[in-house]
Amino acid sequence: MSARRPVFLGHTAAPSGAELAFARLAGELRHRGVPASVVLLAPGPLTEVLAAADVPVTVVPGRPSAVRRDAGPLAVLRGAIGLYRTGRRLAPMLLAQDADVVVAESTKSLFVGAVASRRTGIPLVWQVHDRVSAEYFGRKRFPLRLLGRVAASGYLANSRGTLRTISTGGSPTAVCHPGVDLATVPAPEPQRAPKNVQIAMIGRITPWKGQDLLLRALAQMEAEPRVRFVGGAHFDGDDAYLAELEELARRLGIAERVTFTGHVTDPLTEAADADIVVHYSRLTEPFGQVVAEAMAAGRVVVAARAGGPTELIVDRENGVLVPPRRPDLLAVALDSLIADWELREQLSAAARDRGRDLDLKTSAAIADSLLARVARDVR
């Protein structure tokens, strides 16, 4: 049985990880014949991504007020009132679209979706992309878990680790890894010889993604690979971090080997061009789509041993895991990997095998059956 009319609810139209993941999922559900659509709380570049995938998208009128994660109680209250009003405006839109389940894609859309779900009786599923842990949410994790527990009738988590950070009260849950569209993955090139190895780090430029840690590792290595940092500085304060990274590269004397590409529309091509893809987030990565994509493209991924990547990589079998926040150990791991061409070839073939399980079609099948179950159970 399939879901009939899921509506995915996103709060932002910035094309970052969670947004790209649900846009892809909605597109794939439509391929399966499920008429999924998207409602956003703000217009932006994601609308084009959705249009290209033939996913209908509408924007809730009015601007929801911005609530920063570090806001004080008054600002939070004001923000909550704004979100409540947005939820009331959303309700008739869901009814008009004949939605049978609404899927909240972020904490803000969970709140807005909860209000609309109450008013319409349309059940809500929380698709969880963030770890609801102290690291990310501090003390706010408690009210957020409670809201998720009360408002949602089902949960999709991007990894087993993410699922463990929420409270589901026995409602239907599924681990639904964000899938890779295998049709778009290029065939892998052979690994380059040690002296020509190229490394890529892909992800938005922001302190928690740990670009500075890789720069520090590079400065301690024997090998002198060229490295591309692929990703834009999209949000507040990230520009300053980019300037710091450029300065750090100069100070460490490695600036001529390091390139910052800015935002690219096709990061998969960048991954495929590299021999090694490093993913070294400072915080526990909830899933890490870059890791999945790079593996599917048969690249050797070196990742921090924490969160989502540990569910994809088996150390020295299909990739390499390094303790987090240890540039010295990252340097050692990269040096030994670069020197060993045969190992790189083996890891790359095994990574490609693992990547096949991460097919977007599989993710869509998992999401479809969970959504159908919730739509059916509640109504």
Q: Does 288 bind ligand GLC (CB under 6 A)?
A: yes
Beta strand 258-262 pairing with 57-59: unpaired
Site track for ligand GLC across 69-108, x = CB under 6 A = ----------------------------------------
Distance CA 377, CA 374 (A): 5
Residue 129 as a binder of ligand GLC (CB under 6 A): the answer is yes
Q: How far is C-alpha 226 from the geometric centre of its chain's CA atoms? A: 26
49 counts as binding ligand GLC under rule CB under 6 A: no
Q: Which phi and psi angles does 258 have, rounded to 5°?
A: -115, 130
Nearest-CA neighbor of 48 among 98, 13, 73, 12? Answer: 13
Among 15, 79, 308, 355, binds ligand GLC (CB under 6 A): 308
| C-alpha span between 276 and 217 (Å, rounded) | 14
* Segment interacting with ligand GLC (CB under 6 A) among 140-148, 257-265, 279-287, 343-351: 279-287
Q: Edge to edge, what strands does the sheet with 320-322 contain? A: 258-262, 226-230, 198-202, 276-279, 300-304, 320-322
Contact status: 231 vs ligand GLC (CB under 6 A) = no
153, 165, 191, 289: residue in contact with ligand GLC (rule CB under 6 A): 289
Rounded Cα distance between 135 and 82, Å, is: 26
DSSP 8-state class, residue 32: T
x-or-dash string of contact with ligand GLC, 140-179, rule CB under 6 A: ------------------x-------------------x-
Shortest Å, Cβ 118 to ligand GLC: 26
Compare residues 229 and 287 and give the one whose CB is closer to ligand GLC: 287
Closer by beta carbon to ligand GLC, 15 or else 87: 15
Whole-Å CA distances, 270 to 157, 178, 193, 201, 343: 27, 19, 18, 9, 22
For every residue of 245-270, DSSP letters joined together read HHHHHHHTT-GGGEEEEE--S-HHHH
User: Can residue 28 be called a binding residue for ligand GLC (CB under 6 A)?
Assistant: no
Non-local CB neighbours of 271 within 8 Å, separated by 6+ positions: 200, 202, 277, 290, 293, 294, 297, 299
State the minimum distance, in angstroms, from the CB of residue 279 to ligand GLC: 10
Residue 37 or 158 having the CB closest to ligand GLC: 158
Q: Which stretch binds ligand GLC (CB under 6 A): 99-107, 195-203, 284-292, 329-337?
A: 284-292
Supply 211's token pair. Answer: 């670009």
Residue 21 near ligand GLC by CB under 6 A: yes
Which residue number, 178 or 231, has a Cβ lying nearer to ligand GLC? 178
- Residue 360 within binding range of ligand GLC, rule CB under 6 A: no
Distance CA 327, CA 216 (A): 6
Residue 209 CA, chain-centre distance (Å), reads 12
Contact of 293 with 180, CB cutoff 8 Å: yes
In this chain, which stretch among 15-23, 96-104, 147-155, 329-337 interacts with ligand GLC, using CB under 6 A? 15-23
- Residue 153 or 158 with smaller CB distance to ligand GLC: 158
Q: What x/- string results for residues 178 through 207 when contact with ligand GLC is judged by CB under 6 A?
A: x-----------------------------
> Of 285, 293, 311, 359, which lies in the binding site for ligand GLC, with binding defined by CB under 6 A?
285
Residue 306 burial (CB count, 10 A): 20
Nearest to 293 by CA among 307, 280, 312, 320: 312
Residue with Cβ nearer ligand GLC (281 or 348) = 281
In the complex, least distance from residue 264 CB atom to ligand GLC, rounded to whole angstroms: 17
Q: Closer to ligand GLC at the Cβ: 318 or 363?
A: 363
Task: Kindly list the residues in this chain that would bind ligand GLC in the complex (CB under 6 A).
Answer: 17-18, 21, 129, 158, 178, 285-289, 308
